[in-house]
A and B are shown apart, each in its own frame.
Chain A
Amino acid sequence: MPENKGEKIVVKKRGNALGFWFFRGVFRIFGLRAAYSFLYLVCLHYLLFDRQATQGALAYIKRRFPGKNFLSARLQVYRLFISQGQQLIDRYAAVSGHAAFDVQVVGMEQLDELLRQRSGGFILLTAHVGNWQIALTTLKNLNRKVHLVMRPEDNPAVERSLNISRPDDFIRVISPEAELDGVIQIMNALKAGDIVSIMGDRKYGFDGLAVDFLGDKAYLPYGAFTIAAAADCPVVVLLTSRLAYKKYLVDVRNVFNPRYQNVPRHPRPDVSADGNRPVGPARVSKREELRGFVQAFAVVLDKYTQEYPYQCFLFSDIWKK
């Protein structure tokens, strides 16, 4: 993934130990619904005082609900914050084992069949939609190690939410900042038949490709598809949605097999297509083919947001280059 050297994204972490302790306590003593009820106040605080979170959410809300006025758009943001709060509480409740959830999985038979047919692993493409951590725990049934590609600063929160603590846990972490070493780890994991989980909607300072998403050009990363095309492995999109109280749906029906079809064999000109070095027709063609794969993923996300508008937690302006 070519780095955009000028861009170093720092994502502000929200919530603190006291806040987590409070919600955990309310949940353990009074139950899920009681914990949910405090969200209305907490989310109002974020709506009024956390400008970064609100602006980030508005980038999505304005495109998902075009034409909303100032107040109405912020009401949608408030609803989105509450929805995310509920899913965070659910995640803790599920992973800690203090509440049972009805998790339906669609596409698992197809995934099982795919795994039976091949010796290598696959890429699990996730996004900031729904409660992907709850979905990951259901993948234990596949009896494969899962490698999460995520930044070191995200580790504590995700490790806590997934209850990863021992080195022999089925979930491991690969840092995208490890560059070449990260690439090597990913390729070795795929060769060993493991699952490599990559976020498909955040560039985290890396290069992205412009694709149509919610009626506008969004910039999404393409690393997952580059790796899949090179390693000859499938990309399985993981979507989760909260259907009702204590009820989730995990959808792994969307499977892509990205392969380059049309890399021309002729000289490249001395032009700089997107930045630092000459990029000729062959490499441009590769990028265009990659754009097609990323676009297909964007279509899946678009459809998801139409169905579950308040479960898209993209608190970052992915439409800004």
Chain B
Amino acid sequence: MDEMQEKELAAIRKKLKELLVTSLSLEDIKPEEIKDDEILFGEGLGLDSLDAVEIVVLLQRNFDLDVKNMNEGKKIFYSVDTLARYILENKKK
């Protein structure tokens, strides 16, 4: 991954954290407090499938992205970093 892509990935992570906080009403958590590799569901940030619904919509509305491969759902939704990488790799040119 070149420097340009690293910068883009960092920007996506930042935006994702902000969107997670607002979309999921996590007002007591500041976006910068969410670690890149923090597990989103179950342990870690403690999200549940109710929140997964919001994240799917968040991806659709903000990044124009659908998760097509059902089998990869768990991998993609693992952390902010995995989500950001998925967005970077699949964003529409």
Contact = CB atoms under 8 A, between A and B. Distances in A.
Given A2-B49, A184-B70, A188-B67, 10 more contacts: A2-B50, A3-B49, A179-B73, A180-B41, A180-B49, A182-B49, A184-B56, A191-B60, A230-B56, A280-B28
A263 interface: yes
A187 B60 CA distance: 10
Contacts of A231: 53, 57
Contact of A183 (B49, B66, B68): B49
A180 B77 contact: yes
Contact of A188 (B46, B48, B66, B77): B66
A178 B46 contact: no
Contacts of B70: 178, 181, 184-185
Interface string A251-270: 00000000000010111110
Interface of A: 1-3, 178-188, 191, 223, 226-227, 230-231, 263, 265-269, 276-278, 280, 282-283, 285-286
A188 B52 CA distance: 13
30 contacts: A3-B48, A3-B49, A179-B73, A180-B41, A180-B74, A180-B77, A181-B70, A181-B73, A181-B74, A183-B49, A183-B56, A183-B73, A185-B70, A186-B53, A187-B56, A187-B60, A187-B66, A191-B60, A191-B66, A223-B50, A227-B53, A230-B56, A231-B57, A265-B27, A267-B27, A267-B28, A268-B27, A276-B46, A280-B27, A286-B25
A249 to B, nearest CB: 33
Given A180-B74, A184-B67, A184-B70, A263 B25 contact: yes
B86 to A, nearest CB: 12
B37 interface: no
B92 to A, nearest CB: 15
A187 B53 contact: yes
Contacts of B25: 263, 280, 282-283, 285-286
B27 A282 contact: yes
A230 B28 contact: no
A179 B74 CA distance: 9
B57 A230 contact: yes
B54 interface: yes
A1 B27 contact: no
Contact of B46 (A1, A185, A268, A277): A277
A180 B50 contact: no
Contacts of B77: 180
Nearest to B66: A188
Contacts of A178: 70
Contact of A226 (B28, B53, B67, B68): B53
A265 B26 CA distance: 9
B71 interface: yes
A226 B68 CA distance: 21
Nearest to A284: B25
Among B41, B53, B54, B57, max chain A CB count under 10 A is at: B53
Interface string B75-86: 001000000000
B41 A2 contact: no
Among A2, A185, A186, max chain B CB count under 10 A is at: A2
A231 B73 CA distance: 18
A68 B49 CA distance: 41
Given A180-B74, A183-B53, A227-B53, A188 B68 contact: yes
A186 B60 CA distance: 13
Contacts of A1: 48-50
Contacts of B60: 187, 191
Contacts of A181: 70-71, 73-74
A152 to B, nearest CB: 15
Nearest to A222: B50
B72 to A, nearest CB: 8
Contacts of B49: 1-3, 179-180, 182-183, 223
